[in-house]
Amino acid sequence: MAADPIRLGVAGLGRAFMLMLPTLARDPRLAVLACADPRAEARAHFTEDFPGARAHGTVEALCADPAVEAIYIATPHELHVAHVRAAAAAGKHVLVEKPMALALADCQAMVDAAGEAGIHLIVGHSHSFDAPYLRARDMIRGGEHGAVRMITAVNFTDYLYRPRRPEELDTSQGGGAIFSQAPHQIEVVRLLAGRPARSIRATASVWDRARGTEGAYNALIDFGDGLSATLTYNGHGHFDTDEFQDWTGEMGTPRDAAAYGTARAALRHVTTPEEEAALKERRAYGRGPGAMEARAAPPPPAYNHFGLVLASCEHADLRPTPRGVMVYADDERRFDPLPAPIIPRAEVIDELQAALRDGTPPLHSGEWGMATTEICLALLESARSGREIQLHHQGAA
């Protein structure tokens, strides 16, 4: 007999919710029953998308909803700690968006609240949930190609020139590439390394003063015993690493290789922060396709990904792709395909269901999310100080 659907509430109907909407609308393991958002128009659209669902004006009211057993927290970064605490106090399991928080003390408070309440706390989505990276991790664990010795992660995008609200261009408020983009790369390399990170050395700076935040970084993470990972990210809208993925985009959908410079072009006539925020608002929930369109859409053609990743083992390089894993071994080059996805980002619900229905401890636990936050903060500190930063909250991988 199939397990009962997870009775889910959603806190925050912003961009993160929009990215998860196709999953929430289509996965039969979920029953989306309620939401919370301060915007009346967003709440109204939600109740149209999910007939019979209730809409609350505050997260506290959502946490008090007796029909809800788990809450997906997709509110702004700085609100995560208060909202996780409220959910835990109400006995609700939590899936909280990355970054978990902007300070280690807040991460620890969330872990403590979950432990005291006896609820599961899962941090994500990051791209370390994606099936191609999980397959590569399993190959490494299998030992066929020897120990993993080096991991390389490279991603070039137009991140910095997509429409932003002012706080998204302020590092102190959780804006910029390091808080918004680095968690994906950090968690992918941690997944493949399979052991706690020891230290990080990094560079990052503001290249475009008009944007005001770091749009690129280089980092070297030491995992000990000769294993290291290099992370390169550049969000300045020139080269695009999707060219290395047969023009399959981050969300697993086809890209138009001829559509160059579209992000910068869209900002060209924006003259004030208010105009840019309004431009972003055009992509907000309720302004475009919703759950009904997501349910009617065909299955995604490929899995999500986050640029070029290579796991170099003693006897093979493994390259996860949107459709499987390329294996470059001592005596052969071969492709290990994955079955085509049916529901986008279903891997997130795999982990949520395993925790809530089977009691399986989640990989992306609160402790996992805290380790990622520590590395993000250490990346910033290393870039500012020019020093290697030791890591102390990495736990077991």
Q: Provide the domain count of the chain.
A: 2
Helices (H), the chain: 15-26, 40-49, 59-63, 80-89, 104-117, 131-142, 177-180, 182-193, 262-267, 273-281, 291-296, 346-358, 366-385
Measured distance CA(59)–CA(57) in Å, rounded: 7
Residue 362 has a pLDDT of 97
Q: How far apart are the first and last CA of the chain?
A: 33
In a shared domain, residues 314 and 169: yes
In a shared domain, residues 92 and 133: no
- Please state whether 224 falls in left (phi above 0), alpha (psi between -120 and 50) or beta: left
Supply angle C-alpha 225, 226, 230, rounded to 5: 125
CATH number at 83 reads 3.40.50.720
- Of 71, 128, 131, 121, nearest to 100 by C-alpha is 121
In a shared domain, residues 301 and 365: no
In a shared domain, residues 255 and 177: yes
H or E stretch covering 308: strand 308-313
pLDDT by residue, tens only, the chain of 397 residues = 468 999 999 999 998 999 999 999 999 999 999 999 999 999 999 999 999 999 999 999 999 999 999 999 999 999 999 999 999 999 999 999 999 999 999 999 999 999 999 999 999 999 999 999 999 999 999 999 999 999 999 999 999 999 999 999 999 999 999 999 999 999 999 999 999 999 999 999 999 999 999 999 999 999 999 999 999 999 999 999 999 999 999 999 999 999 999 999 999 999 999 999 999 988 888 877 888 888 989 999 999 999 999 999 999 999 999 999 999 999 999 999 999 999 999 999 999 999 999 999 999 999 999 999 999 999 999 999 999 999 999 985 5
In a shared domain, residues 73 and 101: yes
Q: In what order do the strands lie in the sheet with 54-56?
A: 54-56, 30-36, 6-11, 70-73, 93-96, 121-123
Give the up-direction half-sphere exposure of residue 193: CA atoms within 13 A in the CB hemisphere.
27
- Please state whether 143 falls in left (phi above 0), alpha (psi between -120 and 50) or beta: left
In a shared domain, residues 64 and 100: yes
Would you say 116 and 88 are in contact if contact means Cβ atoms under 8 Å apart?
Answer: yes
The sign one gets for the Cα dihedral 17, 23, 28, 29 is negative
In a shared domain, residues 176 and 302: yes
Residue 396 has a pLDDT of 59
**72 forms bridges with which residues in the sheet?**
10, 95
Q: In what order do the strands lie in the sheet with 389-390?
A: 333-337, 324-329, 316-321, 308-313, 148-156, 227-234, 216-224, 199-204, 389-390
Q: Does residue 265 lie in a domain region?
A: yes
Measured distance CA(71)–CA(38) in Å, rounded: 16
Measured distance CA(360)–CA(354) in Å, rounded: 5
Q: Does residue 250 lie in a domain region?
A: yes
Q: Does residue 1 lie in a domain region?
A: no
Distance of alpha carbon 232 from the chain centroid? 17
In a shared domain, residues 122 and 268: no
Domain residues for the domain of 254 are 129-342+383-390
Q: Does residue 122 lie in a domain region?
A: yes
Q: Does residue 293 lie in a domain region?
A: yes
Residue 291 has a pLDDT of 87
- Of 125, 113, 49, 123, nearest to 87 by C-alpha is 113
**200 forms bridges with which residues in the sheet?**
221, 389
In a shared domain, residues 190 and 87: no
Q: Tell me the Cα Rg of the chain.
A: 20
Would you say 46 and 34 are in contact if contact means Cβ atoms under 8 Å apart?
Answer: no
The DSSP line for 148-161 is EEEEEEEEE--GGG
In a shared domain, residues 352 and 320: no
Helices 80-89, 104-117: axis angle to 10 degrees equals: 10
Measured distance CA(123)–CA(374) in Å, rounded: 14
CATH number at 270 reads 3.30.360.10
In a shared domain, residues 323 and 370: no
Q: Does residue 111 lie in a domain region?
A: yes
- Asked if the peptide bond before residue 125 counts as cis, ω within 30 degrees of 0, the response is yes
Q: Does residue 396 lie in a domain region?
A: no
In a shared domain, residues 18 and 99: yes
Q: Does residue 153 lie in a domain region?
A: yes
CA distances in angstroms from 347 to 112, 128, 135, 196, 353, listed in the order given:
26, 10, 12, 23, 10
Q: Is 249 helix (H, G, I), strand (E, B) or coil?
A: coil
Measured distance CA(330)–CA(337) in Å, rounded: 19
